[in-house]
Amino acid sequence: MTRLIAPSVLAADFANIQRDIEMLNNSDADWIHIDVMDGVFVPNISFGMPVIKAIQRHAKKMMDVHLMIVNPDQYIKEFKSIGADILTVHYEACTHLHRTLQAIKLEGMQAGVALNPHTPINALEDVIMDIDLVCLMSVNPGFGGQSFIENTYKKVIQLKHLIEQSGSKAKIEIDGGVTDQNAHKLVSAGADVLVAGSFVFKADNPTETIKNLRLLANS
């Protein structure tokens, strides 16, 4: 199966968002990763609905929305209406995770669950069949540009095992500190989707960087 690249617009230039989204449209990027932070679940605030609407006006690729917010249930319909194709919530932010996942799917979106670096894979045992995407955080969520946590490799292997054992169709996404130094090792461990923010947008040539990362992930 082809491994996918999902550049994170958190590292884009918001004063030139149309330019940056068009760059992604014309690149080898598969999805557009959109990080929503509320200043409560994580110690940072990123952006909300008006910015996502602006992104959607230009985006020609799947919108992979990663919610780092408390009480995501309150906004599921609204994220659907502004173009989310995949909606990922945090395990740590959902008291009734199973209900939340059903509500996301009822809106016709793919349902994702993100795990913080400290959350064990076995926390997903009883919901893995209901999940389309597991986002393994390879940094503590809240900021771009942090360094990759090495313990992630072990979690990818454990998660791959859980998915195979259960017969789940969930994809494994890695989010945080992804570069050309760890991409190949991550897909070898079982990753299907690599999110990359700073590595793409701070590069001299983002289009070329995406292309190379995708080649590396599929080599």
Q: Which residues are designated catalytic?
A: 35, 175
173 binds Zn ion (CB under 5 A): no
- Rounded Cα distance between 200 and 132, Å, is 25
Phi, psi at 56, each rounded to 5°? -60, -35
Q: Which two tokens stand for residue 118?
A: 């400290």
Q: Looking at beta carbons only, is 166 or 203 nearer to ligand DX5?
A: 203
Choose the stretch contacting Zn ion; rule: CB under 5 A; options: 12-20, 79-87, 91-99, 168-176: 168-176
d(CA 40, CA 60): 31
- Interaction of residue 146 with ligand DX5, rule CB under 6 A: yes
**Residue 59, CA atoms < 13 Å, CB-side half-sphere:** 25
* Choice between 166 and 184, CB closer to ligand DX5: 184
**66 makes contact with Zn ion (CB under 5 A):** yes
Q: Cβ distance 144 to 11 under 8 Å? A: yes
Q: Does 175 bind ligand DX5 (CB under 6 A)?
A: yes
| Choices 105-113, 116-124, 150-158, 173-181 (CB under 6 A): range interacting with ligand DX5 | 173-181
Contact call for residue 192 and Zn ion (CB under 5 A):
no
Taking the complex as a whole, how short is the minimal distance between the CB of residue 197 and ligand DX5, in angstroms?
3
Residue 116: Cβ within 10 Å count: 17
If you search the block for the tokens 């986002």, which residue do you land on?
A: 135
30 binds, among ligand DX5, Zn ion, none (CB under 5 to 8 A by kind): none
Q: Which of 112, 144, 190, 206 binds ligand DX5 (CB under 6 A)?
A: 144
User: How many whole angstroms separate alpha carbon 212 and alpha carbon 207?
Assistant: 9
Size of the site for Zn ion (CB under 5 A): 3
Task: Name residues contacting ligand DX5, limited to 47-76 (CB under 6 A).
Answer: 66
Q: Are 18 and 51 in contact (CB under 8 A)?
A: no
Distance CA 12, CA 107 (A): 28
- For residue 64, state whether it binds Zn ion (rule: CB under 5 A): no
Interface residues with Zn ion (CB under 5 A)?
35, 66, 175
